């Protein structure tokens, strides 16, 4: 099944929503998406934002909608969008300083102001927020399979300069197929800190104190990020690890089995879920019952936490939409299973609220997950709106259904973010109103998103398996290009131009990937009428 979102504003039974299975229940438990789905209300129920703060009001549910962003009548063709009308003094007083600076007193921002990177409210989190960090690493070998994270930290000494718990420094390596555990890696603030921890334990050994974890003697040595990444992603081929950075080899057509395909496979994620759903199952690999998942039930959850935290999300040209969805889907299923186990009181010392919080936090901070995916994770645990906001989530996150790689920039005033979305919504709706009745009916049959307007029509993602195999880099290129084109067109028309240079793709059909190449390092996306967009990385 394709992981692409159907072209509907809200469809509670539509299979996948931005790569998110819509079996996810809302915080209210009624199967509807989080947020306000009454679009005309939701769009304009904005907080009064003064000088970048909300004066103590709820970020998400301010009941008196001030006219910070003026509404637009959507069913009448217009020459320009009403958003560029001159704001009143009352409106300017309610806006943030940043938005007033961008818009100006006449209400018509310049293209330079709108496109200034300092003002632009969108980022590509996978690129911006996931730069590799070469922390010091200690390797523990031959550990008991039921070793806990707390035992390993205690073994190394609580005064050791291990990374903060929020960074998830302990990685107990689990075979995702058998669930067997042999080794563990622990990350330290610096390499010197790792060396000091190992030297202290080895000095104790020279004094006759055996290094034991539980009842078993263990080996300890200073290791590297390369060794950690190699053991954490054993399926990855066609690369070498330079610290935590993958360096990809040139594809070898004569040995395709050794070329890079993925960091983790769908089968690995499926088996990870099976370990928590049926911990005592019998497999063809282990002909008798495996004690690993039974005696250490938290291991599969911690394995997924390590996978999410250490995944090199910034290599967006090597991760596809479907591969990301496989990781997200495993995460959602594990959270649901953990909630059930906590409710049933199974292994409360190991399966508890602390573990659930760690898993949810790893998902909410994951730079590779989309806004909608994170919102669905938050829905699973009934996360309060203010806590949701602490993870840099926008208003109405369930409506970011066609943003597969972009997210809100941290620290940007909410009204600035809403203003840019309003430009996209109103300009795409203005362009839609100029179509023939036949074209309108055809597009309406495919759905409409009242919050982002007809953004999905202009971006024209491919469909089906072609969409699933898009890399995150390719999807991001299309999203950036579409937002750039819409904003330029809106400004051009506002200043008396025709906007024809930035018109939507004429074919109105999803782009298809062709065999044509550009300069050897990109793909050519071909439209229904032959027009194309080259993607480079």
- pLDDT the model gives residue 19: 39
* pLDDT, position 2: 62
Q: What share of the chain is helix, strand, coil (3-state, %, to 5)?
A: 40, 10, 50
- Hey, what are 198's tokens? 């190992």
pLDDT given at position 129: 77
Angle between helices 299-310 and 225-232 (to 10 degrees): 120
Dihedral over Cα of 52, 57, 60, 66: its sign: negative
Q: Which of 427, 447, 487, 431 is nearest to 82 (CA)?
A: 427
Segments of the chain scoring below 70 in pLDDT: 1-81, 279-294, 447-449, 505-537
* Ramachandran sector of residue 199 (left: φ over 0; alpha: ψ -120 to 50; beta: rest): alpha
Task: Identify the pLDDT of residue 130.
Answer: 73
The pTM score is 0.80
Contact assessment for residue 300 and residue 275, using Cβ atoms and an 8 Å cutoff: yes
Dump pLDDT digits (tens) for 414-432.
Answer: 999 999 999 999 999 989 8
Q: Give the pLDDT of residue 337.
A: 95
CA distance 424 to 479: 12
What pLDDT does residue 238 have? 93
Q: How many residues does the chain have?
A: 537
Alpha carbon distance 273, 213 (integer Å): 28
CA distance 491 to 144: 64
Structure tokens that stand for 47 in this block: 């907080």
Rounded Cα distance between 185 and 197, Å, is 13
C-alpha dihedral sign at 431, 393, 365, 99 = positive
Q: What are phi and psi of 78, to 5 degrees?
A: -130, 150
Single out the residue of 183, 206, 194 nearest to residue 160, CA to CA.
Answer: 194
| Residue whose C-alpha is closest to residue 308's, from 351, 364, 262, 248 | 364
Domains of the chain: 78-127+407-495 (no CATH), 131-366 (3.30.70.330)
| Angular region, 181: left φ>0, alpha ψ -120 to 50, beta rest | beta
- Residue 292's pLDDT is 58
Taking the C-alpha atoms of residue 118 and residue 483, their distance in angstroms, rounded to an integer, is 16
Q: In what order do the strands lie in the sheet with 181-188?
A: 170-174, 181-188, 136-141, 219-222
Give Cβ neighbours of residue 301 (< 8 Å, ≥ 6 apart): 276, 334, 338, 355, 358, 359
φ and ψ at residue 19, rounded to 5 degrees:
75, 15
As a whole number of angstroms, the distance between CA 95 and CA 197 comes to 53
Question: Largest Cα–Cα distance in the chain?
Answer: 87
Given this model, what pLDDT does residue 303 score?
95
């Amino acid at each position: 099944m394709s992981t692409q979102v159907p072209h509907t504003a809200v469809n509670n039974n539509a299979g996948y929503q931005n790569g998110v299975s819509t079996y996810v229940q809302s915080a209210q438990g009624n199967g509807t998406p989080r947020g306000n789905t009454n679009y005309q209300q939701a769009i304009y129920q904005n907080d009064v934002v003064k000088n970048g703060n909300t004066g103590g009001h709820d970020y998400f549910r301010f009941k008196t909608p001030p006219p910070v962003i003026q509404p637009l009548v959507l069913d009448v063709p217009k020459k320009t969008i009403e958003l560029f009308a001159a704001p009143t003094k009352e409106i300017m007083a309610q806006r943030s300083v940043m938005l007033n600076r961008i818009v100006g007193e006449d209400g018509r921002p310049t293209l330079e102001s709108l496109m200034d990177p300092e003002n632009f409210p969108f980022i590509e989190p996978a690129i911006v927020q996931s730069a590799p960090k070469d922390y010091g690493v200690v390797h523990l070998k031959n550990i008991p399979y039921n070793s806990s994270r707390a035992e390993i930290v205690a073994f190394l000494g609580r005064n050791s300069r291990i990374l903060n718990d929020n960074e998830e420094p302990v990685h107990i390596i689990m075979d995702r197929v058998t669930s067997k555990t042999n080794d563990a890696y622990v990350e330290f603030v610096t390499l010197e800190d790792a060396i000091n921890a190992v030297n202290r334990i080895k000095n104790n050994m020279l004094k006759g104190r055996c290094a034991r974890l539980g009842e078993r003697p263990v080996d300890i040595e200073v290791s590297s990020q390369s060794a950690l990444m190699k053991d954490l992603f054993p399926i990855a081929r066609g690369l070498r690890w330079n610290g935590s950075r993958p360096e990809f080899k040139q594809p070898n057509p004569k040995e395709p089995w050794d070329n890079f395909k993925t960091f983790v496979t769908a089968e690995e994620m499926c088996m990870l879920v099976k370990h928590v759903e049926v911990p005592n199952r019998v497999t063809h690999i282990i002909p008798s019952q495996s004690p690993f998942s039974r005696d250490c039930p938290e291991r599969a959850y911690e394995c997924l936490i390590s996978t999410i935290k250490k995944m090199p999300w910034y290599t967006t040209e090597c991760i596809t939409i479907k591969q990301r969805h496989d990781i997200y889907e495993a995460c959602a299923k594990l959270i649901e299973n953990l909630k059930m186990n906590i409710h049933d009181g199974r292994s409360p010392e190991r399966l508890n609220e602390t573990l659930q919080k760690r898993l949810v936090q790893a998902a909410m901070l994951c730079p590779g997950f989309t806004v909608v995916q994170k919102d669905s994770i938050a829905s699973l645990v009934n996360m309060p709106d203010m806590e949701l906001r602490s993870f840099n989530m926008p208003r109405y996150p369930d409506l970011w259904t066609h943003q597969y790689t972009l997210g809100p920039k941290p620290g940007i005033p909410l009204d600035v973010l809403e203003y840019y979305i309003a430009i996209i919504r109103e300009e795409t709706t203005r362009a839609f109103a100029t179509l023939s009745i036949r074209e309108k009916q055809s597009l309406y049959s495919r759905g409409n998103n009242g919050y982002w307007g007809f953004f999905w029509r202009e971006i024209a993602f491919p469909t089906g398996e072609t969409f699933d195999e898009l890399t995150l880099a390719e999807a991001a290129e299309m999203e950036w290009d579409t937002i750039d084109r819409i904003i330029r067109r809106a400004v051009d028309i506002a200043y008396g131009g025709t906007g024809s240079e930035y018109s939507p793709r004429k074919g109105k059909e999803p782009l298809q990937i062709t065999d044509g190449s550009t300069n050897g390092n990109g793909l050519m996306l071909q439209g229904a009428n032959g027009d194309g967009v080259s993607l480079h990385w």
